[in-house]
Structure 1
Amino acid sequence: MADPREGWRSDRLRAAVYDFGVRTYPVNAVAARLLWGYDIARLWRTIGELSREPDDATVLDLPCGGGIAFQALSRGRRLRYVAADLSPLMLGRARAVARRRALDQVGFVQADAGALPFPDGSFDVCVTLNGLHCLPDPAGAVAEFARVLRPGGTLRGTAIVTGTGGRRDAVIRAFQRWGYFGPGGNATDLRRWMTSAGLTGSEVDVDGAMATFTARRPG
């Protein structure tokens, strides 16, 4: 299987189409339902959790894409918020959103989820939306998120998982052949990745082919 990272890093059309689709209603709602059997409102609720973090929290958002999670931020909030992505194209789109909304608390870093350029225990919250299924080593990425979480910190995210139906698995295999997705895994794999990374209290809620998950670093 080809490594999907290069396409996400450098393909302008891929970045533009994905960003348009994920932030445009009803395109995102229809696509989520048809492709994955998923209620897109669950994604907005996951994003909304960020609005309830205390102002002194440190947040890593990776992959930030075009800044979809920024809707949970408001001007003047003093979160230390790091938006990271492997793609400079996505980072450019996210920067433009932050400028338009005057979100000066957001910093930007180009980073690979498999080798995060941050010290251990840097963040209170790690958010990874719609990203793990695009990575060549999702278990390694979860371990990296766990490493950069502070004791008591939370990993929160969404990912497409296998094993929820033949038609959905066929779509996943097609995206893998086209170089959009990595090897992925099912809901049991996702729980195992979090447990192996030393995270506890893991919760995985599957709707269609999309899993919403949380876990904590002990401490």
Structure 2
Amino acid sequence: MAGTRWTETVGRLGGAVYDYGVEREWLARPAGRLLWGTDTGLLYGTIDSIRDLPVGAAVLDVPCGGGVALRGLRPGIRYVGADISTGMLERTRRQAGRLGLAVELREADVAALPFADGEFDLCVTFNGLHCLPDPPIAVREMARCVRPGGRIVGDTIVRGAGLRQDVAIGMFRRAGLFGPGGTVAAVERWLDGAGLRIDRLHMSGAVVHFAATRPGVTGS
């Protein structure tokens, strides 16, 4: 019981520290270089591209964490943030309020998302898959929730980029902040296994950025 409370406390603290950093690009850029050897500008560029969606498009953000994806949102786009942590959902709610955005938030397990098949045009998943206990199942659920022709875009930390990064991943796993994770080859298998067509798979340090499309056309 004490171990569970410790894990929960560490998880909340880790989430708060991560959110503080990722919400401040000036801080995230050097931290990303130092810890993961990555260019966090790739993350922010992907987030900013959300605003290119047409008015009326629907976006699922899972796990939404503290709502970093909101910086790419614009009026007229439906945003649904899902996370198993009520604390993270509350952080997203506050962030949306600061930005003056209307959002929908759902407490949900990524392994069993409470959304209809093909409900969304885009699913984004930023810095979350490496924290989950079963990433392949999570990716399959995300794929189910996007329409034919819809996309899944995101990133995740992977093993194999270098000894320093692998040691850091091991430390985060022992602290209960990371799940089993995988390698870049594993990420490719997760996407393939979900029936997705991989459009982009780019490694920057220990972070893999990916984009994939659910084959087919709406109404076919």
Residue type at the aligned position of 1:23: E
| Residue aligning to 1:94 | 92
Residue type at the aligned position of 1:39: D
SS of match in other structure, 1:150: strand
Residue 66 (structure 1) shift: 1.3
Kindly indicate whether structure 1 or structure 2 has the higher relative contact order, using CA contacts under 8 Å at least 6 residues apart. Answer: 1
Residue type at the aligned position of 2:82: A
Q: Which runs of 5+ in 1 are unaligned?
A: none
Residue 91 (structure 1) shift: 0.8
Residue 119 (structure 1) shift: 1.4
Residue 10 (structure 1) shift: 8.7
Judged with a 3 Å threshold, the aligned counterparts in structure 2 of structure 1 residues 48 and 7 are, in CA distance, closer, same or farther, namely farther
Indicate conservation of the 8 Å contact 1:62/1:127, yes or no. Answer: yes
Residue type at the aligned position of 2:202: D
| Residue aligning to 1:79 | 77
Amino-acid identity (%) = 49
| Residue aligning to 1:21 | 21
* Equivalences for residues 101-120 of structure 1 within 5 A: 101-104=99-102, 106-120=103-117
* Equivalences for residues 1-219 of structure 1 within 5 A: 7=7, 11-74=11-74, 77-104=75-102, 106-219=103-216
SS of match in other structure, 1:26: helix
Give every structure 1 segment of 4 or more consecutive aligned residues whose post-TM-superposition deviation is greater than 3 Å. Answer: 6-12
Residue 16 (structure 1) shift: 1.9
2: CA distance, partners of 1:185 / 1:197? 16
Residue type at the aligned position of 2:170: R
2: CA distance, partners of 1:186 / 1:175? 16
Residue 26 (structure 1) shift: 2.9
State the TM-score, normalized to the length of structure 2.
0.91
SS of match in other structure, 1:163: coil
State the TM-score, normalized to the length of structure 1.
0.91
Q: Which runs of 5+ in 2 are unaligned?
A: none
Number of residue pairs the alignment of both structures matches: 212
Indicate conservation of the 8 Å contact 2:14/2:177, yes or no. Answer: no
